[in-house]
Amino acid sequence: MKRFWLSGVFGLALATAACADNSVDESSASDDAAQADTAMTSAATQEAELASLVQDEPVGVDAAAEEYEFPDDAWREVPQDRLLYIETDHGMIVIEMAPEFAPQHVERMTTLANERFYDFLVWHRVIDGFVAQGGGSRSNPAHSTEMDRVPGEFTVRRDPSELRVYETQGRVINPRSNPAMARAGFWNGFPVGTQAEALSGITADGRVESWLLHCEGAAAMARTNDPNSAGSQFYITRGNAEHLNAQYTVWGRVRSGQDAVNAIAVGTMGQDANFSPDTIRAMRVGSDESYEAQVTVEVIDTNSEAFAIWLGPYWDQGLDICDVDVPFRITE
């Protein structure tokens, strides 16, 4: 994950695209390893798809932007009940969850973490430049909870006056399944795709369709070809995965520990004979009173004037939203 700082109406087209191409291949994330095995693409296709996920080198930015000092009132502290702590062989990963966009998925991850479900499971499918998928067991990569499946929460209809997005650029919804143009911006420091806020004035419910983007560091739920089949397996992106946007449910974002995500051992259980998966040592919600490793996470308010000032030099040089890491700070 890059660091640049201190430390037209298309609702119908979007809904159609969300169900149009549910095939599972090496460029999507599956909660059913057996089904994924039967749908693998050729090695050449895999290599081409993964190559397309590699980010270009970041454009240089104005030194003044890097040195910008945010006022104290521009920082937003993340409540502990929204923080998910994942202990790995390579360090701690801290994820901020987004129940406004994926309430049922956040509830599922919170419930399973509180039940210690993920402790000592493994990162069973890790593809460099794409995703680190976790939740399989050492004896069964298709290991899953017996709880009911969670329906897809690929998009949310939001009231712009209640769920504010700072729009910054035009952006394709999904380069593979829905090339229609939309907008992109930031909500609470999350990169978001959205219908333009102006369209809320002509929609029947005064709302617009929005979705969290699969930029590097997105935390999302795996599923089978059935869009309503999420169980317990999840993934964290190790690169930009634009072709998953509005097709898979993003429920959170890495706030600290992307280096640990990118260090997880690469390989796929059941396919790579010598693959030894890394372990999910533990997963806890910050509000768990028995957990003692909580940290304070503060993220810049992306609707603040200070953020707009800080962002200006980056936008002037044409950076994509996925190339901008919203400033945060961690204190113990």
Query: For residue 66, what pLDDT is reported?
Result: 58
Pairwise CA distance, residues 310 & 70, whole Å: 8
Pairing label, strands 208-212, 156-158: antiparallel
- Provide the pLDDT for residue 231: 98
pLDDT of residue 67: 74
Locate 97 and state its tokens: 């969850």
Global pTM value = 0.83
Q: What is the mean pLDDT of each run of 10 residues along the chain (332 residues)?
A: 36 35 38 36 37 35 63 97 97 98 98 98 98 96 97 98 95 96 97 97 97 98 97 98 97 98 97 96 97 97 95 82 94 88
pLDDT for residue 319: 85
Q: What is the pLDDT of residue 16?
A: 35
pLDDT at 289: 94
CA–CA dist 285, 328 (Å, integer):
19
Q: What's the rounded Cα separation, in Å, for the pair 254 and 38?
A: 31
Torsion of CA 1, 158, 246, 271, to 10 degrees: 60
Cα 29 to Cα 48: distance, rounded to the nearest angstrom: 17
Longest Cα–Cα distance of the chain, Å, equals: 57
The pLDDT of residue 85: 98
Backbone angles phi, psi at 134, to 5 degrees: -125, 165
* Residue 233: closest CA among 127, 156, 147, 155: 147
